[in-house]
Amino acid sequence: MSCLTCREALSARLDGEPLGIPARELDAHLAACPGCSAWAGHAERVTRRARLAPAPPVPDLTATVLAALPRELPGARAAARARLADTALRLVLLAVGVAQAALAWPVLVSGAGAMSAPVHMARESGAWNLAVAAAFLAVAAAPWLAAGALPFLGTFVALLLPVTVADLRAGHVHADRAGAHLLLLAGVALVATLAWRGRQRRGLRSVADRPVAA
């Protein structure tokens, strides 16, 4: 193999191109030819220096890029309003839950129910109303539970409302006793609102995460 052929193959190897000759023949020639071996070392150093040359200086565009950014991310104001509304709903539901518990606890402890109800029936009613209050407080603390609590609370209200109206017409219940159920209605409405708002947020997230068709 001539030195010229060897050096052309070495140049191709440094550039990552096909050698044009078998690699074993090239390595054998380098081992036997001090001139080509020295040429290979020099070529490697030159190639390395060329590839590691410092990058040309560029202007600092940090301030320009930051100035071009919007002062407020898109949708940030709407998200802040949504969080504020959710917080307000949770605080109102918290107050409803506390009021519901305040009405139920004395009945549960004393057994003195309205309209001279038997002790066990009064305590049973107190326990039930206290459980409803606990559901309100749980949703106020963890609003993602609203969707799970809604079937239980909604069924209770759907059954209680027509029964209460019928008993009012028949005179089986006093108006003040029936009025206490308004607190329950308010709590269930708040739970339903929180569940609806949570479902809306999940729907928006699923749309945002959906891959865009090419």
For the CA atoms of 76, 78, 82, 88, the dihedral, rounded to the nearest 10 degrees, stands at: 100
Residuewise pLDDT in 10s, the chain (214 residues): 688 888 888 788 877 788 778 888 878 887 888 888 888 888 888 877 777 767 678 888 888 887 777 776 666 677 788 889 999 999 999 999 999 888 888 777 765 555 445 555 667 777 888 888 999 999 999 999 999 998 888 888 888 888 878 877 777 666 666 667 788 889 999 999 999 988 887 765 554 455 544 4
Contact 157, 188 (CB under 8 A): yes
pTM over 0.85, yes/no = no
Instruction: Report domain extents, the chain.
Output: 3-51, 76-209
CA-CA distance, 101 to 105, in Å (whole number)?
6
